[in-house]
A and B are shown apart, each in its own frame.
Chain A
């Protein structure tokens, strides 16, 4: 019989990569991230939009990749860690 060991079950973690100058500031990734990892940054990119940035608690990203699928500009992608 196998027991469920809590320590063995670690949630997956993802690294967020952002290509800032491609962003057109539509906000899809910020709004629809299931973990609420992203927020609008204060800085401007070359086109004058605000690209997304990570919120303080960066460990929250589980690497589901929804942002990389929903981004219309090919400006964000995820690499899963620990696989």
Chain B
């Protein structure tokens, strides 16, 4: 027989008074958070030196559920707040946890400039192809021909390829996984947390309530089965060839892993030099 338990071993990282969380049954966000907490447990990061920053949206709630220093910022401004945190306290490990709409629509400019400057932070972007919290509107990552509440006849806008944007802007670590690749995602999060510089992980997750229902994937389970059948791992390929299109395989894997001097190191060196 299974054993009925009351507490989870990861409860020490959670604000358990807020659990169960607000995410819908079948949503991939809980899985991503679960993988992140497992990754935290397996790295030796001091929780006192860890800060989670998130913006607005379903994914933005993550900061409220993790029991470390966390910051729930205004819409799209998670990365500027995180930049400030990192520059003011260089010892901090800063993780930005936000959704595709927050990071790439409202906060798109902040993202590309943080990647260009190579600010030492980890950005985890959960991509569910739409604005889930506000009712499933069309976003910058909605694939062509997908149906949303604001594109009932099919989307005619070309979507962003988030990994390509990150790599082209200068991120030192770029990876994409789906919510089903939990082990690889966990390993990738560990690598990104230990990486110096701007590391970016895109996680494709299900949104059954607002996106899946209108696109023939009405439950989270069906979306996960789709990921199982239609994702292909291609490490190290050019991210420009990893577009997400309906009816085509989702290309996942680690695309970029390079070394580059970071902005905050340069700033503090410059301050030392100027004070001499």
Contacts and interface: CB of A to CB of B under 8 A. Distances in A.
B27 A31 contact: no
Interface stretch (B29-37, B106-114, B151-159): B29-37
A44 interface: no
B1 interface: yes
Interface of B: 1-11, 14, 19-21, 23-31, 33-35, 38, 180, 182-183, 186, 219-221, 224-225, 228
Interface string A11-35: 0000111111010111110011000
A18 B2 contact: yes
A58 to B, nearest CB: 7
B25 A49 contact: yes
Interface of A: 15-20, 22, 24-28, 31-32, 47, 49, 52-54, 58, 66, 68-75, 77
A7 to B, nearest CB: 28
Given A24-B20, A32-B224, A71 B3 contact: no
Nearest to B11: A74
A52 to B, nearest CB: 8
Given A54-B1, A74-B11, A19 B29 contact: no
Contacts of A69: 31, 34-35, 38, 182-183, 186
Nearest to A46: B20
Contacts of A28: 31, 220-221, 224
Given A31-B221, A32-B180, A72-B29, A20 B38 contact: no
Contacts, number: 90
A73 B20 contact: yes
27 contacts: A17-B3, A18-B2, A18-B5, A19-B4, A19-B6, A22-B19, A24-B20, A24-B24, A24-B25, A26-B25, A26-B219, A27-B221, A28-B31, A32-B228, A49-B25, A52-B2, A66-B182, A69-B34, A69-B38, A69-B186, A71-B30, A72-B28, A72-B29, A74-B10, A74-B30, A77-B8, A77-B10
Contact of A31 (B6, B29, B224): B224
Most buried by B among A16, A25, A27, A66: A27
**Top 3 A-B pairs ranked by shortest CB distance?**
A72-B30, A24-B25, A17-B5
Contact of A70 (B2, B182, B225): B182
A30 B225 CA distance: 12
Contacts of A16: 2-3
